[in-house]
Each structure stands twice: as structure tokens, then as C-alpha cells.
Structure 1
Amino acid sequence: MPNLLLEQKPLLDIRDLHVELTPSGRKDAALPVLTGISLAVYPGEVIGIVGESGCGKSALSLSVVGLLPRAMRIGQGEIWYQSAPVHRLGPEETRRLRGKEIAMVFQDPMTSLNPALTVGEQLTEMLRLHLGLTRREAEVRAVDLLRNVGLPRPEALLSEYPHRLSGGMRQRVMIAMALSCRPQLLIADEPTTALDVTIQAQILELLKRISAEERTAIMLVSHDLGVIADMCDRIAVMYAGQIVEEGPVEDIFDAPRHPYTIGLLNSIPSPAKKKERLYSIPGTVPALHERGGGCRFYSRCPQASDRCLAEPLRLTDLNGRHAVRCLLAVPEGGASHAAG
């Protein structure tokens, strides 16, 4: 991460966030989904949130925009967007912030778009609600938005229903909707899932252009390390509801410090490994009820010792830009970076 970012005030500042699952509605039976997440997103940067399925990537994104499922709740911690305490906002205040200042692109545009409304109706609703445009002004702006995300015949597309569009076109419509009010932060949750390789490349190139031209900060959630390497300035690696490593993209890929990050990178196929058996991390991610104290990667780590379970683990700053949650990677007396 460029040092310049550290000198700026964060656009989004997540502090010691804990999210719980309470399927029965009983707080005493709550299960930990996210534990001690602290993360800052700076203006204009692209930060990648990476980890395997079930690590909490989507729960983190939904926490920021106030869209957690009913069975989940924020049990502790704070989420600040500039000077706004997102964790304290009511539903109406959150709705005004979401879409105008913070926008989200979901991984499945077919279920995110309303099948009963045309593309134009959905786009103009956003513009009229948040920007106060007239119907005609909103239609003109909607055409410009569709054109800017590379969709052909934007005027005709306004009257089309989502089911008549291809997956790539629907995703571009979602991005156009997300950008309609020129948000300062865009959260993209697996934006290229289920798209073919060519369309994936086009969507990622579009996000790059948006970040460069509009100075929009992007929080890119993905399990695809290739996408993360190509797109991001900085990476946060998540495992079992915690951030286990965070740093500039070159540090994470060239000098990973956490055994889980090392395992993820070793599992990436490459031409150099074509005669080798593809590496996979042994074991499985601990279930929610198995996430106690100590290292959550303990049962899968080749370097684990009893000390890993006996001592509290914190995300520890190594050099002012690279942090890791691992006793083996932290020198004695390393400074604590975040709680949890």
C-alpha cells in the first residue's frame, strides 16, 4: 500500500467489528460470524477482501451497507463512514447513505434486479430518490450511465426487462445503478461470479476505469486471487471470521507471513506446476460453534503448536504496512494492530 494512503483520513473505518448469528433470537445462543474485524478503506484505493467460502467476506460487506440478514446482528464494534457512525444509524438514515455515498454490486444480478420492473424504471428510481431529478432528467442520465458502462443501444435498453439480458449485460446494469449517484465507496461482492472469462475481464476493466477516473474507492470481495492480484492496491485475507493478514498486494503475494495465506497462494495453478499434484490445504474451516480462543487455523496448520491455542492472537503490525495474526510470524514484542 502506498505510504500516501496512510497519511489520509479513512473513507471507511471499521473498528473491532463483531457480527453474531442468532438463529433462535436468543442472544445467549449467539454464534460468532465475524470477530474483531478492524479495517480502513482510503479514498481512491482498491482493497481486496479474499478468503474461501464461509470466511465472512459477504457478512462484512453487508454489515457496511446495513443489509445483514435478520438472523445476524452487530454485537460489538463500530463502522464509520467519514464522520457518520453507520453502526448507530436508523433504517431511513442508512437507506439515504446506501446508494448515494456507498453503493454495492452483488454477485448475482439476476436476483438483485427486480424482474417485474424494466431496466429504466430501476435506474431512474435511484436517480429520482437520491438526486431529486425529474422523470425526464433521470431518463437522460440513465442513458448516459448505460453508455458509460459499455452497453449498446442504451435508449432501447431502458424498456427491457432483466430476464431478456445476458449475464454480462445484467452485471453492467448493476454497476450503472451502483454508480448512478457517484458514490465515493463501491463494494463489489464477487462481481464476476458465473460470467465467462471474456466478460469477467471486461467487468474488471470497467471497475479499474471507474476507480481511476472517478477516484472511487472499491472494496472488492473475491475468492479469486488472480482477480485480486490484478485489481487491488491492498489485500485483507480472511479466515473463519477474522482478518489473518493484511498488507500491500506485493507484500502479500511476494512475502506472505500467515500459513493460511501461504496455503492459498500455493494452491493457485500455474504452468510451472502442470506436472505436479495441485496443492490443497488439509482439513476444513471450523464451524461457527467451534470458533473459540487461540488460532482458528490451528487444526490445518503444519506449524501449529500448543502455544497457538494457549495465547490470545491479535492482528499485529510488522512494519507499518503489513499485519499478521500468527505467533510464528510476529517477532517478540511486536505491536498490536487490532483487537480480536
Structure 2
Amino acid sequence: MNHLRDHTVRDAGTKSITSERERPDQNPMPSHAFRAMALLDVRGLTVTTTRPVPRRSAAQPGENEVFRVALTLMQGESLALVGEPGSGMTATALAIAGLLPSTATVTSGSILFNGQELAGLNGRAQARLHGTNIAYLPPNLAGSLDPTRTILSQLATPLRRRLGLDRPAARARALKALVRVGLDNPEVVALSYPGDLSTVVVQRVALAAALSLNPELLIAAIPADPAHARPLADLLRLVRALQSKHQFALILVTDDVGVAAECCERIAVLQAGRIVEQGSVDELFASPRHPHTQRMLDARQRYSFSPQDSTPGAGTGVLQVVALHSVDASAFYHGADAIAG
């Protein structure tokens, strides 16, 4: 931990000569008290990846997957990390969530969350934060659930272990989490196994699990998929509605700037491990300054999240009520406008 702090102190004397939107990774380090005013403040984050080498081979130097990334997020704010595969957006998100793979390491920089330094935290401390204060929604939502356990078991167990709830209280809170994501038959879903449920219901269950402990920050890695535009729009509209209602902060990781613009207030565009440009959605769409940002804008898909597009036949709009049928269980998911508290 100390070597990380020392690195950030040395970087504090380097004065930026360009604007924040042009080179956000080169900002001088503000005081700890100033940074603690934000929910999340990342400065000079560098993530190094070590490639496996054959036995008896000389160790190879690591490669920087993320280099001197800087970003700030306030309570209730939404930020999208946008980039192509290999841009560093996923590694940045995993570093913040404390979920980097064993081959990747935060080698320098600072991740301040609610005034607490996360860079260099041991595994036990990271585990306490993960799921309670910071929740991560992986790109493979179905893979985040255990196929051998009921939905109720998977939602209630963390509530009992982390919050000390008894079985009835944990069950009630798990059912409320399922209702929150729009599932009308939470008792039926709760007693089902993931394999009994449709893909769309499983997605809602994964989101309910991520939000069941009321985290202050949700990191959602949801790749754009034009082939499944309607379910994608439906899921993202739900995430956006819940974030707006419950005021948790949101980091969305996506490879499509159009999706980012529909769900977030600000966008950070990454290329080759660096943030090349960041700003509000209006700023980036009106006057992109970096060529890579312009390329991302040109390649964006057309998604619609507005309520007026919620009738059948309205392009890729969201159905106000979507019937979700499965093998042994069925539920109905209401649109974001009808979400229960």
C-alpha cells in the first residue's frame, strides 16, 4: 500500500498543461480531503498484466493494460467507460471493483472510495466492500448464478452473512429485491433454479442479487448486442430507472457510445489503456475532440429507450410489459415506469 501512496504523492507535483477533457490522466493530485468529497476518485491508475510463460523461461516484463487513468464519480452520478476490446475499460472497472484476475495487478495510482484507499487492499477487506458498498454486474449474467442452488438461497445467503439477518428477514428482503426489478411472481422465481428460468428472467435475478445489499456504486459490464436490441434496451432502461430512483452511482462498461449516451450523464472514451477524452454526453456528441471518439460515434448503434417507443412495432423500443416464460416458472416484468420500491 505504501508504495502506491508514495507514487501518487510524487505525481502530485506534475502540473497538467492540457485540459481535463483532453488528457484527464495527467491531472495533478488534489488533496485527500478534496478527493474524499467524491464517492469515487481514481488518479494515475495503472494496471499491469503478466502473461503466463513456459517453465524455465525467463520472466517477461508486464504490459500496461491501463495507464494513468483518472476519473471522478459523485454519489448518484452515472459514468460510462466506452472503448473497443482491449481498450482498458474492463480492466479499469475490475480494478475499482477489486476483481482483477490473478494475472493483473494495480502497480501504481490511487482508487479512493468514500475516503478509503482501495489500491493495495487485502483480499478480506476487498471482499467486505464487494457486494455491500460496490456491486459488479458481469457481462455474462447467467454465469454469475450457481445452477445448483435456488434463487432464494443465492439471494438470501449474502444477506444473512453480510448483514446478520435471520432467515425470515433475509427471505423477505430477497423477495423485495425480486419485486424491485419488476418480477411479479417473486415466490415462484425464488424457489426456482436458474435453469428453470428464461434468459431474460435470469438477467433480472442477477440484477436483483447485485442490488440486494443496497450498494453505493454499481459497476455494470453490459456489451452492446444489435442482434438482441430489444432485451438489451429493456435491461438498460431498468438499470437506468433504478439508478435514478435509488440514487446509487453507476459505472457502465460498454463498447457502444450510443448505449452509453442513453444510460449515463458522462462518458469516458478509452483507447490502448488511456482515457483519450471524457465529458458530458452533450459535449462529446456536439464536439468530439479526439479522432477515436469520432470513430466511436460513427460506429454507434441506434437504440431507443424512450417511453413513447414502448408499443409493438416501434423499432427497437421497449415493450411496456414483457411476458417472460420459462420451463417450470413464469413471471411478468413490468416496464421501468411501473417499478416497485
Q: TM-score, normalised by structure 1?
A: 0.74
| Aligned residue number for residue 211 of structure 2 | 179
Aligned mates of 1:137, 1:41 — CA distance in 2: 33
| Aligned residue number for residue 227 of structure 1 | 259
Aligned mates of 1:162, 1:197 — CA distance in 2: 23
1:93 maps to a residue whose letter is A
CA RMSD of aligned residues (A): 2.1
Structure 2 residue 39 is the aligned partner of structure 1 residue 11: yes
Aligned mates of 2:245, 2:208 — CA distance in 1: 15
Structure 2 residue 92 is the aligned partner of structure 1 residue 60: yes
Structure 2 residue 161 is the aligned partner of structure 1 residue 129: yes
Deviation at 1:152, TM superposition (A): 2.9
Aligned mates of 1:194, 1:114 — CA distance in 2: 28
| Aligned residue number for residue 68 of structure 2 | 36
Change (3 A) 1:251 1:24: same
> Where do 5+ consecutive residues of structure 1 fail to align?
1-5, 271-340
Does the 8 Å CA contact 2:39/2:114 hold for their aligned counterparts?
yes
Matches within 5 A, 1:39-188: 39-188=71-220
Aligned mates of 1:192, 1:143 — CA distance in 2: 29
Aligned mates of 1:7, 1:158 — CA distance in 2: 41
Aligned mates of 2:283, 2:262 — CA distance in 1: 14
Does the 8 Å CA contact 2:35/2:41 hold for their aligned counterparts?
no
Deviation at 1:241, TM superposition (A): 0.7
Deviation readout 1:135-184 (Å, 9 max, x if unpaired) = 11111111111011011311011121112222221111111111111111
Deviation at 1:205, TM superposition (A): 1.8
Q: Provide the secondary structure at the position in 2 that maps to 1:16.
A: strand
Of residues 10, 19, 23, the one that matches 2:51 is: 23
Deviation readout 1:60-95 (Å, 9 max, x if unpaired) = 111111111111111111111111111132111110
Identity %: 36
2:153 maps to a residue whose letter is E
| Aligned residue number for residue 209 of structure 1 | 241
2:85 maps to a residue whose letter is S
2:87 maps to a residue whose letter is C
Deviation at 1:33, TM superposition (A): 0.5
1:14 maps to a residue whose letter is V
Deviation at 1:254, TM superposition (A): 0.9
Does the 8 Å CA contact 2:224/2:256 hold for their aligned counterparts?
no
2:40 maps to a residue whose letter is L
2:140 maps to a residue whose letter is D
Does the 8 Å CA contact 2:35/2:115 hold for their aligned counterparts?
no
Deviates more, 1:249-258 or 1:79-88: 79-88
Change (3 A) 1:173 1:145: same
Q: Provide the secondary structure at the position in 2 that maps to 1:201.
A: helix
Deviation readout 1:168-207 (Å, 9 max, x if unpaired) = 2111111111111111100001166598322222212211
Aligned mates of 1:158, 1:46 — CA distance in 2: 30
Aligned mates of 2:227, 2:196 — CA distance in 1: 16
| Aligned residue number for residue 17 of structure 2 | none
| Aligned residue number for residue 324 of structure 1 | none
Q: Provide the secondary structure at the position in 1 that maps to 2:209.
A: helix
Does the 8 Å CA contact 1:168/1:195 hold for their aligned counterparts?
no
2:243 maps to a residue whose letter is S
Q: Provide the secondary structure at the position in 1 that maps to 2:131.
A: helix
Aligned mates of 1:196, 1:153 — CA distance in 2: 25
Of residues 252, 261, 264, the one that matches 2:284 is: 252
Aligned mates of 2:225, 2:218 — CA distance in 1: 17
Deviation at 1:266, TM superposition (A): 2.2
Q: Provide the secondary structure at the position in 1 that maps to 2:203.
A: helix
2:253 maps to a residue whose letter is V
1:70 maps to a residue whose letter is S
Matches within 5 A, 1:218-297: 218-268=250-300
Aligned mates of 1:195, 1:118 — CA distance in 2: 30
Does the 8 Å CA contact 2:142/2:206 hold for their aligned counterparts?
no
User: Paired residues, what number?
Assistant: 265
Change (3 A) 1:137 1:268: closer
